[in-house]
Amino acid sequence: MLLSEDHPVDVVIYHNPECGTSRNTLAMIRNAGIEPHIVEYLKTPPARSLLLQLIVRAGLTPKQLLREKGTPLADLGLEDPSLSDGQLVDAMMAHPILINRPLVVTPLGVKLCRPSEAVLDILPTPQGGAFTKEDGERVIDAQGHRVI
């Protein structure tokens, strides 16, 4: 997607197609007229250095990026408050399912998009029309404005 011939828009989504929040986020990116780079991070996890950059750029801590639901978090003892950030990142590298999703990178920033409409805060182009989440919740009206 190009804003103009001189201003390309590059968006990356760290995506899990099995996750409704991730699917809704991807659909809102596309509703803004952007075809993002899709990284299925369970198949192709980011390198450790990139994961660390994403965490910092999103303004998160490794603990805030840890996913609990449907992961081995408890089995691995990762709820232990004495664990260091490095140990948590090591666990995410060993078990990418522990990386919460979707993480989205745009020219306006990096954000963990939970809820999915959080992506609207960092998209460089407006929504192209109405959008309703998979669960039926209206997020964008016919004029491309956020429904509050």
Q: Which two tokens stand for residue 44?
A: 């192709």
Per-residue model confidence as pLDDT tens digits over 54-72: 999 999 999 999 999 999 9
How many other C-beta atoms can be found within 10 angstroms of the C-beta atom of residue 116? 25
Q: Which of 9, 11, 13, 19 is catalytic?
A: 19
Residues 6+ apart with CB under 8 A from 49: none
Pair 99, 133: CB distance under 8 Å? no
Tell which residue, 115, 146, 148, 111, has the closest CA to residue 131: 146
Active site residue 113: no
User: Is pTM, for the whole model, over 0.85?
Assistant: yes
Per-residue model confidence as pLDDT tens digits over 22-31: 999 999 999 9
Per-residue model confidence as pLDDT tens digits over 117-142: 999 999 999 999 999 999 999 999 99
Residue 36's Cβ-count burial label (10 Å; 0-12, 13-18, 19+) is buried
pLDDT beyond 70 at 45: yes
Q: Which residues share a beta bridge with 37?
A: 12
pLDDT averaged over the chain?
94
